[in-house]
Each structure stands twice: as structure tokens, then as C-alpha cells.
Chain A
Amino acid sequence: MQDIHLPGTTSTPSIQTDWQSGRVSLCGDSYPEDAFEFFEPLLNWINGYVAISESPLILELSLLYINTSSIRMLMDLFDDMESAHRAGKKVSLIWYYDAENERVAELAEEFREDCTFPFVVLKRQS
């Protein structure tokens, strides 16, 4: 499957995927008007990866502003990772947030409550 190398814009995060290493990273703000359209290719990639690759999947998020429709898509993404985890695949998530910005940490923690795969929320000193 083709990797995604999408540069960030004012309202959308950059997306990088690497099939070889199993690393996926999202970085920046996420408030597109149509979050479904924006996130769909990433969800397809991740579902393809966990279905085909034997290697672990590591998702790294460095997101700042996130609108509710992006939050809804993140939940779908985490649900897919949860299903993969329950099916015995190795998946994990690291969510970085700025030390000064507690909102991202709160959001990440709420998501973590509903996930059983390795899910780390890490403070990044700014």
C-alpha cells in the first residue's frame, strides 16, 4: 500500500505513514470543515496495514487544536486500533501535548479510558 506524505495546512495536520517501520504520525492543528473526507484515506491505510503487515503499528499524535468532527474521526481510528489489538495485532499510540496546554491532555486521557491497547499521553516541555 502506498504511504501517505501529506503536508500540514492551517486547518489540517501533516500526515506521514511508513509501511516499513509501521510508524504513523500526525502533527499540527486539525479543524477541517469535512473531517470525514480528510481522515478517510488515513483510516483506510491503517486498516490495510493491520490487515496485511505482521509488524507493529505505532501512531504518534502531536495535535493542538482539534474540532469535534476531527475528534469523531479520531474515535473511529482508535476503535479500529482497538479491534486490531483484540485480534492480537501489536498497536500502540503516543499522544504528545504541550506542557502549557492542558486541554489536549484532557481529551487524550478521556480517549485512553476507552482503549485497552498501549496508549501513552506524554507531556512535551515547551
Chain B
Amino acid sequence: MHPQNLLLLRNLFEQHYILLAFNGLFSASLIEEIGLALRKHLEALSATPTEVTDVFTIYIELTQNIRHYSKKKGLSDERASGTITISREQNRYIINAGNVVEMADGEELFRRIHELARLDKLELKALWKNQMRQPRAPGASTGAGLGLIDMARKASQPLVASFNRLDENWGFFSLQVIL
């Protein structure tokens, strides 16, 4: 990258009030380390304990989702890498996270986000309780679909998804959570 591009990148960061951004391969320990730095950074910016908890919890769900997906699919490093930004705009925290997914998975996820976006807080709570009662799939290590519902419940606005086709089989899926 030419040094001049750094200014372009910086301008983009400032324009969108980005506090933290990462692009690359998430390891379990990197998720922890970035998470700890994020907590300290938010505390230094005088975020309330509840705000720190919410931003951190959503950061963990999103990055662990990306890890679980790439492990489940056995993706190459290039495809397994994720992108996350955390910004603060007009007193709201905005978390964006994205990764490369198979077209069919991306379309399915896109549909689910749209379904969740239609529900109000009470309906989301009912769905949450219902999802908790679903039997855990054998060998499944994840929250079995609880993560998206939890994020939708914590968000102050409906979740927004975007899905961009990259080629015949793959697309880039990104999700935005506004607190």
C-alpha cells in the first residue's frame, strides 16, 4: 500500500467514526486479545458498563460465528478471514461484521435476518425462549441459533444484512448491529 493510501483509510475511519477495525484470520486467542483491548478502549472513552457489555458481547458473538462457520466448512485461510468494525456515531455503537460464505448459506442467513428484523421485542423474547428449548444438535458447540436472536434483542434497531455475490459459488455476507 502506498503511504498516501493511509490518509484515504484514515479519512474513511474518521468519516464513519470507527473506533476499532480488524480484517484477517481470527484465531480464538486473537478474538480474546482484541476483545480485551476493545473493553479497555471503550472504558477509556467513558462508555457505561452496560454499553461495554453489549458491545463486547456482540463482538464475541459475531467473531465466534465467523470462526464456527469457517471451521465447519473447512475454509481456506483466504476465505476464512473476517472483517469487523466498531464505530460510535451519534451516541450509538454500530458493529459491522462480515465474511465469505457459500451462496446458499448467505441467502439463507439473509432470509433469517429479514425475519428477525420484522419482530418486536416481545416476539423476539418468545422466539429466544423457544430456541433455548430446541434440542442441541449432537456435537454442536455453538449457541444453536441463539446468537442472532440475542443480538436482535440487544439492538435498538432491526438488524441489517447485506450480501454481495463474489462469484458463482461465494458471496460476502455482512451484518450490522446498532445498539
- Which chain A residues (30-44) contact chain B, with CB distance < 8 Å? 31, 33-37
Taken together as a complex, chains A and B put the C-alpha atoms of A76 and B132 apart, in Å, by 9
Given the contacts A33-B28, A33-B67, A34-B141, A65 and B57 also touching, CB distance less than 8 Å: yes
Identity of the chain B residue whose Cβ is nearest the Cβ of A67 in the assembled complex: B60
Q: Is the Cβ of A65 less than 8 Å from the Cβ of B143?
A: no
Encode A84-126 as 1/0 by CB contact (under 8 A) with B. 0000000000000010111110000010001000000000000
A6 at the interface (CB under 8 A from B): no
Given the contacts A11-B32, A33-B28, A72 and B53 also touching, CB distance less than 8 Å: no
- Main SS of the interface on chain B? helix
B136 at the interface (CB under 8 A from A): yes
A2 at the interface (CB under 8 A from B): no
Identity of the chain A residue whose Cβ is nearest the Cβ of B71 in the assembled complex: A33
Q: State how many residues of chain A have any CB contact under 8 Å with chain B.
A: 26
Which of A11, A64, A75 is within 8 Å of B132, CB to CB? Answer: A75
B50 at the interface (CB under 8 A from A): yes
Identity of the chain A residue whose Cβ is nearest the Cβ of B53 in the assembled complex: A103
Please name all residues of chain B whose beta carbon is closer than 8 Å to the beta carbon of A75 when the two chains form the complex: 132
Please name all residues of chain A whose beta carbon is closer than 8 Å to the beta carbon of B140 when the two chains form the complex: 36
Please name all residues of chain A whose beta carbon is closer than 8 Å to the beta carbon of B56 when the two chains form the complex: 65
* Distance from A60 Cβ to chain B, minimum over Cβ atoms (Å): 20
Q: Is the Cβ of B132 less than 8 Å from the Cβ of A37?
A: no
Given the contacts A11-B32, A65-B53, A101-B50, A72 and B146 also touching, CB distance less than 8 Å: yes
Q: Is the Cβ of A67 less than 8 Å from the Cβ of B64?
A: yes
A53 at the interface (CB under 8 A from B): no
Identity of the chain A residue whose Cβ is nearest the Cβ of B39 in the assembled complex: A65
* Distance from A22 Cβ to chain B, minimum over Cβ atoms (Å): 27
A77 at the interface (CB under 8 A from B): no
Which of A31, A69, A103, A114 is within 8 Å of B141, CB to CB? Answer: A69
Sample (13) of A-B pairs whose CB atoms are under 8 Å apart? A33-B67, A36-B141, A67-B60, A68-B146, A69-B142, A69-B144, A69-B146, A71-B132, A71-B146, A72-B146, A98-B49, A100-B48, A110-B125
